[in-house]
A = this chain, B = another copy of it.
Amino acid sequence: MKFYDSVGPNPKLVRMFAAEKGYPLPDTEKVDIVKGENRQEPYLLKNPAGQLPALTLDDGRTIAETTAICEWMEEQQPEPPLIGASAADRAETRMWTRRVEWLVVQPLTAGFRSGMGVKMFQDRMRLFPESADALIASAGDGLAWLNEQINGRETIVPGRFTLADIALYAFLEFGAQVGQPLDSANANIAAWFERTGARPSAQA
Binding site for B on A (CB under 8 A): 48-49, 57, 59, 61, 63-65, 67-69, 71-72, 75-76, 87-88, 90-92, 94-95, 98-99, 102-103, 106, 125-126, 128, 130-131, 134-135, 137-138, 141, 145, 149
Contacts and interface: CB of A to CB of B under 8 A. Distances in A.
B65 A88 contact: no
Q: How many copies does the complex hold?
A: 2
Contacts of A63: 88, 91-92, 95
A102 B72 CA distance: 20
Given A64-B95, A65-B95, A65-B99, 12 more contacts: A49-B99, A49-B145, A57-B91, A61-B88, A67-B98, A68-B98, A72-B88, A102-B106, A125-B138, A126-B138, A128-B128, A130-B131
Contacts of A98: 65, 67-68
B68 A87 contact: no
23 contacts: A49-B145, A57-B88, A57-B91, A61-B88, A61-B91, A64-B95, A65-B98, A68-B92, A68-B95, A69-B91, A71-B90, A71-B94, A72-B87, A72-B88, A76-B87, A102-B106, A125-B141, A126-B137, A126-B141, A128-B131, A128-B138, A130-B130, A130-B131
Given A126-B137, A130-B130, A94 B65 contact: yes
Given A106-B102, A128-B134, A68 B91 contact: yes
Given A87-B72, A131-B131, A61 B138 contact: no
Contacts of A141: 125-126
Contacts of A131: 128, 130-131
Contacts of A72: 87-88, 90-91
